[in-house]
């Protein structure tokens, strides 16, 4: 209903223009999350630059944007409050090392087993979280220093500019996709505000409202290049025990959010990222943050959606966003400080409309009640707590539901078709828990010369299933018999070694699903 994807081609122009759009949207988010973590705005901006640049170079998902995020910031705040910012840098450094180890030990593959209802709940909950986060931009600091909701002309101007931004983003792609609609909207609204001298809150107003009164008057987003420094903490076991719990949580939350974002972009662009490489890329970026004074972070789903919606598909889009952000910090702070918050809020509102899975509402009453429950549960937990906890809860509940439904063994119907081939018509998934029963279904010695395994009502879920198929094919070949595999997904065919040439391809009927395997990242 609200699909914003207007260009699926990967080229330099799209990546550069999309990267500039993302850079503009990164600024208020990075500043806001820095305040959440209890650190200076520049610490968040440095994190956005280093996370964005290094994950774009070393990560496993071209087009995905990383930076300082709220999910990790909320973990950091108590560490900073009790032990200081140097302990934060040490914890971020350690979190990066943990993430690199996760990639080396190929743990990224497990994101592929997140069930579809959990993904739907995650995406819907995410859209709600992004929407609620923008409501904070409708608050201002009054004379007494308290936050209050906008009123009067300030509110009306804010609402009108948001609506104008959304209209530009909705209608411009119908006329041209030469430039990202989000970039045009931000520039146009900024020019209108400046040209007509409208009383509209801008990025600098937002920063000043977040600072104490004595600092607000001289606040600016101008900074210098981040400099190398080893975290100034005692190198003792006591320090390790202080930072280890925070580092482990930051690493886990960062990887879950990043890998789920990777999977979401995979689905949108019909491509496949490399989960294990993304773990390593996130780890390199966080480790670097620890040495260069950044607060670390992970993938930013909202900004990643802006990038994809604007046509960014390659690594150059993320690299451009990071470099442009750094150039703003060094030389162009006066330009980003005057950007109206309304323009950025309007862009994020369009991201909300494009992210929410409206089709899930039409599924009510058409899918099992357990799936509806999981979708609603994950969405609610996402809004109430955070994305990582919601996904963990959703996977656990889904696993319990799966175990309850599929406690019985894999089933098969056998018959002889018109060609005299014996057909094994499978029902149920082939995965590590069912491969033993799968192997017992076949009578290799007494089967005819041609045997067909029909997967129309089955699927291969992980690498254990792939190995079982390869071994079965080897046994049939050793017996001098011909095995035919029907209705396997392209990934299954790609992963099969000994049985790959036995697959019968039917583009119109073959399913398309993912397989949990290290060989595809």
Token digits of residue 379: 């969405």
> Could you give the maximum distance between any two Cα atoms of the chain, in Å?
89
3-state secondary structure 211-239: CCHHHHCCCCCCCCCCCCCCCCCCCCHHH
For the chain, what is the radius of gyration of the CA atoms?
26
Indicate the DSSP class of residue 497.
Answer: S
Sequence-ordered list of residues with C-beta below 8 angstroms from that of 35, at least 6 positions apart, any chain: 41, 44, 210
pLDDT value of position 195: 94
pLDDT value of position 1: 40
At residue 377, the 3 state secondary structure works out as helix
pLDDT value of position 96: 97
Q: 490, exposed or middle or buried, with CB in 10 Å at 0-12, 13-18, 19+?
A: middle
**Highest mean pLDDT: which of 28-32, 205-209, 322-326, 440-444?**
322-326
Determine which helix (DSSP H) or strand (DSSP E) holds 486, and give its type and residue range.
strand 482-486
Strand partners, 149: 139
Q: Using alpha carbons only, what angle is made at residue 180 by residues 175 and 183, rounded to the nearest 5 degrees?
A: 120
Alpha-helix runs per DSSP H in 150-274: 152-175, 181-195, 203-210, 213-216, 237-269
Report strand pairing: 422-430 vs 411-416: antiparallel
User: Residue 409 — pLDDT band, cuts 50, 70, 90?
Assistant: low
**pLDDT per position as a tens digit, 210-246:** 777 777 778 788 888 999 999 999 999 999 999 999 9
pLDDT value of position 370: 84
pLDDT greater than 80 at residue 8: no
pLDDT greater than 70 at residue 9: no
Whether pTM > 0.85 for this model: the answer is no
pLDDT value of position 264: 87
**pLDDT per position as a tens digit, 473-496:** 999 999 999 999 998 888 888 888
**Highest mean pLDDT: which of 94-103, 129-138, 432-441?**
94-103
Tell me which residue has tokens 């190995």: 467
Token digits of residue 464: 């254990």
CB 473 within 8 A of CB 507: no
Q: Which residue has the higher pLDDT, 182 or 360?
A: 182
pLDDT greater than 70 at residue 2: no
From 502, 496, 466, select the one nearest 482 (Cα to Cα): 502
Token digits of residue 68: 């300082």
Determine which helix (DSSP H) or strand (DSSP E) holds 483, and give its type and residue range.
strand 482-486
Characterize 269-296 residue by residue with b for buried, 16 or more Cβ atoms within 10 angstroms of its Cβ, and e for exposed: beebbbbbbbbbbbbbbbbbbbbbbbbb
pLDDT value of position 430: 85
CB 517 within 8 A of CB 463: yes
**pLDDT per position as a tens digit, 28-50:** 888 878 877 888 889 999 999 99
CA dist 331 and 431 (Å) reads 55
Quote the mean pLDDT of the chain: 87
pLDDT value of position 407: 46
CA dist 462 and 431 (Å) reads 6
Q: Which residue has the higher pLDDT, 206 or 171?
A: 171
**pLDDT per position as a tens digit, 90-105:** 999 999 999 999 999 9
pLDDT greater than 90 at residue 510: no
CB 323 within 8 A of CB 54: no
pLDDT value of position 269: 87
**pLDDT per position as a tens digit, 243-302:** 999 999 899 889 988 998 998 899 888 888 999 999 999 999 999 999 999 999 999 988
pLDDT value of position 31: 81
The mean-pLDDT minimum among 34-38, 64-68, 123-127, 133-137 falls in: 34-38
Report strand pairing: 503-504 vs 482-486: parallel
pLDDT greater than 70 at residue 80: yes
CA dist 294 and 50 (Å) reads 8
User: Residue 190 — pLDDT band, cuts 50, 70, 90?
Assistant: very high
pLDDT value of position 406: 63
Sequence-ordered list of residues with C-beta below 8 angstroms from that of 34, at least 6 positions apart, any chain: 40, 41, 42, 43, 44, 45, 47, 68, 73, 295
Indicate the DSSP class of residue 202.
Answer: B
Determine which helix (DSSP H) or strand (DSSP E) holds 504, and give its type and residue range.
strand 503-504
pLDDT greater than 70 at residue 10: no
CB 437 within 8 A of CB 405: no
From 12, 2, 91, 17, select the one nearest 324 (Cα to Cα): 17
CB 423 within 8 A of CB 450: no
Strand partners, 30: none
pLDDT value of position 382: 84
Q: 494, exposed or middle or buried, with CB in 10 Å at 0-12, 13-18, 19+?
A: middle
Token digits of residue 74: 């909320």
Q: Residue range 452-466: average pLDDT? A: 87
């Amino acid at each position: 209903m609200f699909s914003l994807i207007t260009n699926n081609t990967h080229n330099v122009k799209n990546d550069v223009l999309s990267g500039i759009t993302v850079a503009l949207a990164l600024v208020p988010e990075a500043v806001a999350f820095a305040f959440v973590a209890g650190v200076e705005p520049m610490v968040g901006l440095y994190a956005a630059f280093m996370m964005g640049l290094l994950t774009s170079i070393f990560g496993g998902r071209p087009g995905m944007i990383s930076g300082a995020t709220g999910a990790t910031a909320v973990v950091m705040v108590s560490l900073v409050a009790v032990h200081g910012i140097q302990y934060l840098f040490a914890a971020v450094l350690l979190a990066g090392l943990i993430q690199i180890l996760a990639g080396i030990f190929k743990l990224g593959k497990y994101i592929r087993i997140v069930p579809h209802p959990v993904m739907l709940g995650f995406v819907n909950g995410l859209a709600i979280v992004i929407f609620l986060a923008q409501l904070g931009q409708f608050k201002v600091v009054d004379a007494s220093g308290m936050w209050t909701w906008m009123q009067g002309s300030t509110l009306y101007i804010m609402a009108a500019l948001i609506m104008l931004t959304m209209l530009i983003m909705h209608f411009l792609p119908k006329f041209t996709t030469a430039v990202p609609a989000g970039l045009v909207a931000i520039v146009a609204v900024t020019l209108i505000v400046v040209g007509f001298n409208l009383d509209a809150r801008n990025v600098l107003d937002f920063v000043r409202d977040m600072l104490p009164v004595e600092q607000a008057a001289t606040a600016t987003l101008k900074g210098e290049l981040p400099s190398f420094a080893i975290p100034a903490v005692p190198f003792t076991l006591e320090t390790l025990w202080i930072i280890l719990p925070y580092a482990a949580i930051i690493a886990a939350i960062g990887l879950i959010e990043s890998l789920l974002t990777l999977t979401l972009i995979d689905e949108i662009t019909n491509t496949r990222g490399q989960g294990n490489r993304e773990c390593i890329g996130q780890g390199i970026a966080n480790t670097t943050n620890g040495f260069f004074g950044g607060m670390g972070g992970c993938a930013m789903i909202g900004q990643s959606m802006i990038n994809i919606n604007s046509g960014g598909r390659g690594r150059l889009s993320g690299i451009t966003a990071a470099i442009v952000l750094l150039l703003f910090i060094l030389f162009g702070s006066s330009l980003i400080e005057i950007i109206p918050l309304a323009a950025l809020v309007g862009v994020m509102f369009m991201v909300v409309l494009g992210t929410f899975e409206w089709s899930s509402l039409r599924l009510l009453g058409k899918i099992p009640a357990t799936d509806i429950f999981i979708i609603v549960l994950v969405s609610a937990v996402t809004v109430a707590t955070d994305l990582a906890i919601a996904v963990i809860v959703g996977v656990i509940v889904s696993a319990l539901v799966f175990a309850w439904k599929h406690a019985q063994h894999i089933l098969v119907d056998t018959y002889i078709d018109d060609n005299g081939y014996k057909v094994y018509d499978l029902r149920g998934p082939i995965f590590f828990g069912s491969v033993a029963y799968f192997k017992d279904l076949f009578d290799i010695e007494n089967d005819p010369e041609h045997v067909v395994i029909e997967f129309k009502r089955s699927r291969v879920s992980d690498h254990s299933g792939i190995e079982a198929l390869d071994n079965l094919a080897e046994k049939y070949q050793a017996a001098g018999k011909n095995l035919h595999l029907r209705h396997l997904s392209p990934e299954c065919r790609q992963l099969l070694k000994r049985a790959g040439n036995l697959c019968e391809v039917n583009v119109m009927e073959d399913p398309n699903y993912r397989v949990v395997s290290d060989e595809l990242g």
